[in-house]
Amino acid sequence: MPITMTQFSDEEMEVLAKKIGDYLLPILLEALKDKTRIAVNRLQGEHYTARQVAERLEISPQQVYRLVDRGVIQAEKVGKKGIRISRNELDKLLQSGGLAK
């Protein structure tokens, strides 16, 4: 049998709401911070996907993800799996001679 809200007293509802809020608030704030950072970065310059960077560097997108994981390329996470690499980051990499093949 499903639980209905009428089965909880006002005090129990307040405790439940506080527990849910205490759990969700940090998650929501972190998500908002990430979205804000990404939006500000996008306003400051163009961003590229892993596939676009791979084409410029003549490597596979998987290799781009590995370079990001190793810290060779700085990237912003977008969603669960996606990344965006700033034009400045790509320019720095290309100016430094790119990657040793």
* pLDDT one-digit tens code per residue, 6-33: 677 778 878 877 887 777 777 777 777 7
What residues make up the domain containing 52?
A: 46-101
CATH for 71: 1.10.1660.10
Residue 64 CA, chain-centre distance (Å), reads 16
Residue 33, in any domain of the structure: yes
Residue 49's identity, in one-letter code, is T
Give the predicted TM-score (pTM) of the model. 0.53
Higher confidence at residue 71 or residue 96? 71
The proportion of the chain whose per-residue pLDDT surpasses 90, expressed as a percent, equals 24
CA distances to 28, 29, 75 from 62, rounded to whole Å, are 30, 30, 14
Q: What's the CA gap between 3 and 25, in Å, rounded?
A: 24
